[in-house]
């Protein structure tokens, strides 16, 4: 190749064969320029996105959107403006335990506390007694302060020696069977318990008001003795026909047990009523 005034001129061989090395170098140079342009453009785009995001964050922090700007810390109420304590008072508890309820037995154990009237109707009310499916008609009743006259055998002197104040008797009958229950009243629980434990002989049966004489004239009858509080209670029961009572006489035993159970309940109820009244509670 040679140069003249009009530019390069090619010889016969040079016009047929290009300068491959020069062409390769020129192509590589163009590729490097393109690569750097792409890297530089990417960096600029990344910086532009970061600037947009930062602007958005600043705009969000500084504005409140449609509702207006958010309150800053300086706009919150000062601690002195907040309620210092709850409006409702704290619960308080007493360290003193409430007294226990009165014991009903205390009110029937001594005459000093047992102040309710002592009458026939207080212990044996109504004209009949119902125990479950069994109904007993009430016969004669009696009340006396001469305790010994209500007894048979040694029981009279036992009552008197232990300070018996009075005896109330009531008779109940059903189907040819009659039972008299006698309630002996003492000043203290100890006196009543001692009288029941020493019992010998028994309560005398009380006839009348439709009940014929029974358990007299030597006929064998069933007798019981118990006490609760300042009251000792005794029963005598048998057949109105005069037939002797044996251990096989379940019907007589049943009537006597019902009368014993009823009398105990009446004494206990007397204590419950007085204990409830002392505590200011309604009577059950």
Percent of the chain with pLDDT strictly greater than 90: 61
Q: How confident is residue 61, by pLDDT bands cut at 50, 70 and 90?
A: very low
> What's the angle, vertex CA 65, arms to CA 60 and CA 67, rounded to 5?
140
**Facing residues of 3 across strands?**
8
CA dihedral 180, 184, 185, 188 (to 10 degrees): -130
Residue 216 pLDDT exceeds 90? yes
pLDDT tens sequence across 157-168: 999 999 999 999
Q: How far is CA 272 from CA 24, 90, 275, 279, in A?
A: 124, 39, 5, 11
Q: How confident is residue 132, by pLDDT bands cut at 50, 70 and 90?
A: very high
List all residues 6 or more positions away from 104 whose beta carbon is below 8 Å from its beta carbon. 268, 271, 272, 274, 275
Residue 268 pLDDT exceeds 90? yes
| Residue 279, phi-psi category: left (phi > 0), alpha (psi -120 to 50), beta (remainder) | alpha
Predicted pLDDT of residue 56: 41
Indicate the helix (H) or strand (E) that contains 257: helix 250-279
Residue 194 pLDDT exceeds 90? yes
Predicted pLDDT of residue 109: 97
The rounded distance, in Å, linking the Cα atoms of 229 and 190 is 8
The rounded distance, in Å, linking the Cα atoms of 260 and 228 is 11
Predicted pLDDT of residue 178: 98
- Which pair of structure tokens corresponds to residue 189? 């629980």
User: How many other CB atoms are found less than 10 A from the CB of residue 110?
Assistant: 15
Residue among 235, 267, 259, 265 nearest 174 (CA): 259
- Which pair of structure tokens corresponds to residue 170? 């009531």
Q: How confident is residue 202, by pLDDT bands cut at 50, 70 and 90?
A: very high
pTM, two decimal places: 0.66
The predicted model gives 70-83 an average pLDDT of: 55
The rounded distance, in Å, linking the Cα atoms of 5 and 283 is 144
Indicate the helix (H) or strand (E) that contains 237: strand 231-239
Predicted pLDDT of residue 62: 46
Judged by DSSP in three states, 136 sits in: strand
Give yes or no for a contact between 147 and 164, defined as CB atoms under 8 angstroms apart.
yes
Residue among 27, 68, 96 nearest 19 (CA): 27
DSSP state of 74: G
């Amino acid at each position: 190749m040679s140069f003249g005034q009009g530019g390069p001129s090619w010889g016969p061989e040079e016009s047929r064969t290009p300068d491959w090395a020069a062409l390769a170098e020129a192509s590589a140079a163009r590729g490097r320029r393109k690569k750097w342009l792409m890297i530089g453009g990417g960096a600029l785009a990344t910086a532009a996105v970061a600037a947009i995001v930062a602007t958005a964050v600043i705009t969000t922090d500084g504005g409140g959107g449609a509702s207006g700007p958010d309150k800053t810390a300086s706009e919150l109420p000062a601690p002195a403006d907040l309620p210092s304590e709850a409006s409702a008072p704290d619960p308080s508890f007493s360290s003193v335990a409430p007294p226990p309820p009165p014991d009903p037995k205390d009110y029937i154990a001594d005459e000093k506390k047992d102040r309710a009237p002592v009458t026939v109707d207080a212990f044996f009310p109504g004209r009949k007694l119902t125990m479950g499916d069994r109904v007993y008609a009430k016969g004669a009743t009696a009340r006396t302060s001469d305790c010994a006259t209500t007894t048979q055998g040694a029981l009279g002197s036992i009552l008197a020696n232990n300070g018996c104040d009075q005896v109330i008797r009531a008779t109940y009958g059903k189907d040819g069977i009659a039972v008299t229950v006698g309630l002996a009243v003492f000043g203290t629980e100890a006196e009543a318990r001692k009288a029941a434990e020493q019992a010998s002989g028994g309560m005398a049966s009380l006839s009348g008001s439709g009940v014929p004489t029974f358990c007299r004239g030597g006929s064998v009858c069933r007798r019981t003795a118990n006490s609760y509080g300042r009251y000792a209670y005794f029963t005598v029961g048998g057949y109105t026909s005069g037939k002797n009572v044996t251990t096989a006489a379940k019907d007589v035993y049943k009537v006597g047990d019902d009368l014993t159970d009823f009398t105990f309940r009446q004494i206990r109820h007397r204590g419950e009523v007085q204990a409830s009244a002392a505590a200011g509670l309604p009577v059950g």
